[in-house]
Amino acid sequence: MSSFFIKKKSASAAPGRGDKTTGPKRKGDNDGEKGGRKKLSKRLNEEISSDSENENDDGPNRKRKGNEEDEEIEETPQEKKLRLAKLYLEQLREEEEKKAEDEEFESDLIAGRLQEDVLEQKGRLQRLIADELVAPDPAEIRLLRGHQLPVTCLVITPDEKHIFSASKDCSIIKWDVESGKKVQKIAGGRKGTEKRHIGHTGHILCMAISSDGKYLATGDVNKLIMIWEAATCKHLYKFTGHRGAVSGLAFRRGTHDLYSASHDRSIKVWNVNENAYVESLFGHQDMITGLDCLGRERCVTAGGRDRTVRVWKIAEESQLVFHGHEGSIDCVQLINEEHMVSGGDDGAVCIWAVHKKKPLSTVKQAHGLHGNVGLEMPNWVSSVAALHNSDTVASGASGSHNSAVQLWKCGQGFRSLEPLFSIPVAGFVNSLKFSNTGKFLVAGVGQEHRLGRWWRIKEAKNGLYIIPLKRQKKEQVLEQ
């Protein structure tokens, strides 16, 4: 606004009588002042709308009227400043009103996002998409092959452009989702080459990727955790400290805190940014077979033969113990911050809530039976996955003839599981992962179970199955 307010020079002040340098006021000075007023009057007349002029007036009358208007609309410098200030304030007001409208629209978007974040933290955000899913055409399912031995684990990058997979051949492969081609491969080393080989020399059992896609972590049977730069596959760190095979890894969402689980029955917490060990947690009575976490400072683990699922509250240094399976619990995944899904060699798939010690829902023989008549055994549930904050989960079975990926719908309050459709897959389904948006599901399959060699399915192919998930209508986000 200062640009509109121009101060007059000091020469306009009345000269003092004692100032010898000041001469008498000349006639030209008064003429200049009158000329300036005439110019101002002329300019103001030009700005008046043509509607204000009377075209029927004759020349002399119009001239006389113009002279009268010159006298009427002549403004002082103070009045000019005031007029310009009002114009400037009006312009500011219009700009602020427009800005307020834009900010109101943006604030609505931000408020909606914040509301979703709050519901997600409370475990009450649920995207109802299960009823929209349709079974994919078998011709649309792609098989990516590159590992020599069974695929044991996989992760999908947050941008859904790449997949990392690992195998019992000790290698790691980075795949391009769109083309299905290998982007990069980190070869495995032979036993005895640990000191000179950069990478794993033992079966890789688990892997995790940070929520920003920066770090990739892998764990093997040689008790080692390797940290890689996901973009370049460059080796960064090696974490040691576990006394048994590393069987579970998970990054806490929004951080670079890494949780690891092991056959030594412990959970360890690491800070990848600092390349540092933080603490260890104990409680399981048998080797830990699976681990997962989301945004809260807690993780969930499957306890194998001790038949427990445990939720570890890191900050409170406490744990919650859950019972419900009749056999070894071999896999667990969080659906949201309050609910989780698990599977085991008893053939059951269970849904849990953190505030209840027993499953909310259990489907026994979820993948059917196998064996001779009278000696039937349930097919082993070797992997589970959850589309975060939704009503959709998946399970993978390991059977000689009935291996499959089964999709399920979680009922109201997660108190029931309804089958959606099944996708036949030959071999052990060792790992399952949904993409963040739910556009596709990836299954890591092998001829053997990831944790052992109890039996082998020769007709199976070691590789990744990319399963597209089609929807019938737009998803809805509801609060339960």
The pLDDT of residue 32: 45
pLDDT band at 329 (very low <50, low <70, confident <90, very high): very high
Q: Is the pLDDT of residue 163 over 60?
A: yes
The CA R_g of the chain, rounded to the nearest whole Å, is 37
Domain ranges of the chain: 58-122, 126-479
Task: Annotate 117-154 with b (16+ C-beta within 10 A) or e (fewer).
Answer: eebbeebebbbbbbebbeebeeeebeebebbebbbbbb
Strand (E) positions, 240-390? 246-251, 257-262, 266-271, 276-282, 290-292, 298-302, 308-313, 318-323, 329-334, 339-344, 349-353, 361-363, 369-370, 377-378, 380-386
More reliable by pLDDT, 13 or 137: 137
Between 139-148, 359-368, 394-403, the lowest mean confidence (pLDDT) is in 394-403
pLDDT band at 72 (very low <50, low <70, confident <90, very high): low
The pLDDT of residue 134: 93
Q: Is the dihedral of CA 228, 304, 440, 187 positive or negative?
A: positive
pLDDT band at 13 (very low <50, low <70, confident <90, very high): very low
Q: Is the pLDDT of residue 22 over 80?
A: no
Angle at Cα 292 formed by Cα 289 and Cα 297, nearest 5°? 130
* CATH T-level assignment (fold) for domain 126-479: Methylamine Dehydrogenase; Chain H (2.130.10)
Coil/strand/helix, residue 94: helix
- Rounded to an integer, the average pLDDT of 173-183 is 97
pLDDT tens digits, one per residue of 76-131: 888 888 888 888 888 888 888 887 777 666 666 666 656 656 655 555 567 899 99
The pLDDT of residue 78: 82
The answer to whether the CB of 361 falls within 8 A of the CB of 416 is yes
Q: Is the pLDDT of residue 179 over 50?
A: yes
DSSP per-residue letters across 104-133: HHHHHHHHHHHHHHHHHHHT-EEEE-GGGE
Q: Is the pLDDT of residue 347 over 50?
A: yes
Please state, rounded to an integer, the average pLDDT across all residues of the chain.
Answer: 83
Between 11-15, 108-112, 415-419, 430-434, the lowest mean confidence (pLDDT) is in 11-15
Both structure tokens of 192:
């005895």
CA distance linking residue 72 with residue 133, whole number of Å? 78
